[in-house]
Amino acid sequence: MIYLDNAATTAPDAAAVSAALAFYGQKFHNPSSLYGAGFEAHRAVQDARRSLLAHIAPAGGFELVFTASGSEADNQTIFSSVRRGNFVTTAGEHAAVYQSAKELERRGIEVRYARLHADGSVDGEDLLRLVDEHTSLVSVIHVNNETGAVNDIAALSAAVKQKNAKALFHSDGVQAFGKIAFSLPQSIDLYTVSAHKIGGVRGAAALIRKKGVPLHPLIFGGGQENGLRSGTENTFAIVQFAAAAEKKFSSLGRDLEHVRALNSAVRAGLDAGIFTVLSAEDASPYIVSVAAKGLRGEVLLHMLDDAGVQVGTGSACSSKNRYSRVMLACGLGEALADGVLRISFCAQNTAEEVAEAVAIINRCAAQLKERTK
């Protein structure tokens, strides 16, 4: 089986699992326990926290709160930060932000959605137009999880702060962390990262916040994570997250070039008579979305699965919807939006398996096109 759905989740890195495995077995102890083994687990969590922060905020000035998922971190940001005023976000956010925005609307909070360009990046002028003196929070995804479009969140956050210095700026960086070179500027207040997109296991993620930025807990209980996220820390998943990130950041440039070559091979190899490439050339090379006009993407996905290739049809978190709201927001008509495939890579994918996958995708798409005549 050729796995090309790495934007949905990645295979856990075996070396990182091995590095953390003791905390799944004999070092199973609660990090809050007061005896020696508990202190050891606590130190392991703290070491992982420092290691992860060093990758994204090497100049300091930020803190890291462990959560169980990126969705949890996004929810905590939004429901902590937006209690009055308005919330400004984009039409291209991950479901964790978008559905939280819809919940705010149900609670009577005004939410403003900035338009997207055709490639899925936010229209920066429209975003800034929506920000006013009553804006509590602005949230802009760093790398669009369906098209791979990279938003310049450093420039956008600085511009937002110029217009409203009190507004907080958040970015979901789940598809960026460990994949593109980036360090947090002081204009960004909150940033979400997740383990399972970079070879970590599911169950570990983090919300990174600038020191001094107000943050309220979403989950109440024992007061772990300095009172900001109650619940016993998942020491194994956290330690494995840090180990996977260390490996990913150590090869970030090399991986980027490798994946860029795979992306180019897909763009060049797919049948242009059937497929339209939707992702821009300057998008994250880890993601390329294409559309087959007149074909059902879901049907094609199942054909590919039977033929030995696994891809997505958009965000895995919203895969039950026929049309991607993000693709529609990019201006894609329903005829194309119905035929979207998202192909996403990891550093372990090879040129040979990508070439084989392209041939299978072309063959299956041609067969489906013939059937639908």
Q: In what order do the strands lie in the sheet with 168-172?
A: 62-67, 205-210, 190-194, 168-172, 135-139, 86-90, 110-114
Largest CA distance in the chain: 71
Residues annotated as catalytic are 317
Distance CA 64, CA 226 (A): 10
Phi, psi at 306, each rounded to 5°: -65, -30
Distance CA 67, CA 195 (A): 10
The alpha-carbon radius of gyration of the chain (Å, integer) is 21
Query: Of 64, 117, 72, nearest to 92 (Cα)?
Result: 117
Query: Of 43, 72, 49, nearest to 245 (Cα)?
Result: 49
Query: Of 166, 165, 113, nearest to 141 (Cα)?
Result: 113
DSSP annotation of 316: G
* 144 class by beta-carbon count within 10 Å (0-12 exposed, 13-18 middle, 19+ buried): buried
DSSP annotation of 13: P
Count CB atoms within 10 A of the CB of residue 77: 28
3-state secondary structure of 270: coil
Do 270 and 361 form a contact (C-beta atoms < 8 A)? yes
